[in-house]
């Protein structure tokens, strides 16, 4: 499929697709006339890329994952290892998100206002009262 069709199917601009090709996220196969030609699975790959992006993974991280898949494409074991690695990353993100969620949820309905920087009005009994989300360990 050509770039316009892919763009429509993936809900992404042509420019972005060309950009993704430049940075190695997509392959550069061409038709005899110079037009780009993508296999249909590219739509799925792009969906994956967009989701990963929205979740805070950088294009570089995604590209590494992608090129890892390419380089390992004759070894199912290496591939699985790669994917499991990615899975671990995702699980970490989910754990962090869950932590954030718990912190926030614990405050719903609480009557103690937890302002990050009290500047409006007097500071009403704040000492030690409102700690924000639990501090974030390691990194």
Partner DNA sequence: CTTGACCTTGGAGCGTACTCCACCGTTTAC
Partner DNA sequence: GTAAACGGTGGAGTACGCTCCAAGGTCAAG
Q: What is the binding site for DNA (CB under 7 A)?
A: 2-5, 7, 13-16, 18-19, 23, 30, 32-36, 53, 58-60
Q: Does 34 bind a second copy (CB under 8 A)?
A: no
- Picked from a second copy, DNA, none, the partner binding residue 14 (CB below 5 to 8 A depending on kind) is DNA
Q: Is 30 helix (H, G, I), strand (E, B) or coil?
A: strand
Least separation in angstroms between CB 117 and DNA:
14
Structure tokens at 88: 């671990």
Tokens 């590209």 locate to 63
Q: How far apart are CA 110 and CA 35, in angstroms?
A: 60
Length of the chain: 139
- Picked from DNA, a second copy, none, the partner binding residue 95 (CB below 5 to 8 A depending on kind) is none
- Picked from DNA, a second copy, none, the partner binding residue 36 (CB below 5 to 8 A depending on kind) is DNA
What residue spans of 72-114 are helical by DSSP H?
76-105
């Amino acid at each position: 499929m050509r770039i316009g069709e892919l763009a429509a199917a993936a809900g992404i601009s042509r420019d972005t697709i060309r950009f993704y090709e430049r940075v190695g996220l997509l392959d550069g196969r061409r038709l005899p006339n110079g037009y780009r030609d993508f296999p249909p699975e590219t739509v799925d790959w792009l969906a994956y890329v967009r989701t990963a992006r929205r979740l805070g993974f950088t294009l570089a991280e995604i590209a590494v994952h992608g090129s890892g898949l390419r380089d390992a494409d004759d070894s199912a074991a290496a591939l699985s290892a790669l994917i499991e690695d990615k899975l671990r990353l995702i699980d970490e993100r989910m754990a962090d998100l869950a932590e954030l969620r718990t912190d926030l949820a614990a405050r719903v309905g609480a009557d103690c206002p937890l302002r990050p920087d009290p500047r409006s009005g007097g500071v009403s009994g704040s000492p030690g009262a409102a700690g924000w989300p639990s501090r974030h360990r390691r990194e």
